[in-house]
Amino acid sequence: MTLLNESVRREVRQALAAMTEPVRIVLFTQQEGGALECGFCRETRQLVEEVVALSDKLRLEVHDLVADQALASQMGIDKIPAIALLRDERPQPRDFGVRLFGIPSGYEFGTFIQDLVLVSQARHDLSARTLEQLAALTGPVHIQVFVTPTCPYCPRAVLLAHRLAIASERVRADMVEATEFPHLANRYSVYGVPRTVINEVIHIEGAVPEAALMDELMQVNDPAAMKRLRAEWGL
């Protein structure tokens, strides 16, 4: 049984025609019956394989989270299924820090396909003001966007985070499918999506416009504000 029906395959093929550079999909998973709990590892692999078959600009690289621990931690992968999207440049693939944790199903399937095109084109479409703010970043920024597959406006929040990652070397941005990682949803008390979590302690509810997100994000440059927020979260 295929996951993508013929009409969806046709639409995806059409959407992927906009890709300019090849993209390397790096999938972290585990073998059938692996030691970790992974509700959708098998389906995620099948999904990615079906998508890769729809464009000659897509490459797939599959790793086992446990066996390839060193690579995983170097890439910031700590849970599965995980997808990292790399622009397949020469001599080295370029890793913008675009990640998807959990199966990209429902509304997030569209995000995944759009991500492929954005990474391929190294395109971010951000405003001049945002780019100025990103250029002023002094340290690493880790954005996690919690979503569910049934949330219609979550893709906007994820795509914004991914575009920030494409624009800035300092930014890594994860989509996190909340129901597959309940321990994380618990840790951050996520009961509603989208929730954007920046460097653990800056929390933003809803899909907010770019400028509003950036104003929140730039607090990472302010040690006093970050210290206060960390204290609020008991960190």
Partner 1 sequence: MDLHFELPTTGDGAASVWDVAIVGGGPAGATAAMYAARADLRVIVLDKGLTASALGITSRIANYPGVPEEISGAELLRRMREQAQRFGAVFVQDKVQAVDLESDPKLLFANGGTYEARAVIIATGSMARGQRVKGEEELLGRGVSYCATCDGAFFRDQDVAVAGNTDEAVEEALFLTRFARTVHFLSPTPRIHAPEPLLHELSSQPNVRLYLGAALREVIGGDHVTGVRVALRDGGEQVLPVNGAFIYLQGGRPATDFLGGQLPLNETGCVRVDAEYRTTIPGVYAVGDVLCNHVKQAVVAAAEGAIAAMAVEKALRGRKQLAVDWSK
Least distance in Å: CB of 132 to partner 1? 20
Query: Cα separations (Å) of 89 from 171, 206, 217?
Result: 19, 34, 29
Taking CB under 8 A as the rule, does residue 195 contact partner 1? yes
Q: Pick from 87, 67, 91: which is nearest to 77 by CA? A: 67
Which of 134, 141, 160, 193: binder of partner 1 (CB under 8 A)? 193
Query: Cα separations (Å) of 28 from 31, 47, 56, 89, 138?
Result: 10, 13, 21, 21, 30
For residues 235 and 229, what is the distance between their CA atoms, to the nearest angstrom?
A: 9
Which of 142, 156, 162, 172: binder of partner 1 (CB under 8 A)? 156
Taking CB under 8 A as the rule, does residue 6 contact partner 1? no
Structure tokens at 160: 């914004």
Which of 62, 74, 150, 228: binder of partner 1 (CB under 8 A)? 150
Strand bridging mode 82-87 / 94-101: antiparallel
Which of 28, 96, 101, 109: binder of partner 1 (CB under 8 A)? 109
For residues 190 and 174, what is the distance between their CA atoms, to the nearest angstrom?
A: 15
For 98, phi and psi rounded to 5 degrees? -90, 120
Taking CB under 8 A as the rule, does residue 168 contact partner 1? no
Which of 34, 76, 93, 110: binder of partner 1 (CB under 8 A)? 110
Taking CB under 8 A as the rule, does residue 178 contact partner 1? yes
Taking CB under 8 A as the rule, does residue 106 contact partner 1? yes
Taking CB under 8 A as the rule, does residue 45 contact partner 1? no
The residue range among 55-63, 88-96, 100-108, 115-123 that interacts with partner 1, by the rule CB under 8 A, is 100-108
Count of residues interacting with partner 1 (CB under 8 A): 41
Angle among Cα 124, 128, 134 to the nearest 5 degrees reads: 70
**Binding-site ranges for partner 1 (CB under 8 A):** 3-4, 8, 11-12, 15, 39-40, 43, 47, 103, 105-107, 109-110, 113, 148-156, 178-179, 185, 189-193, 195, 203, 205-209
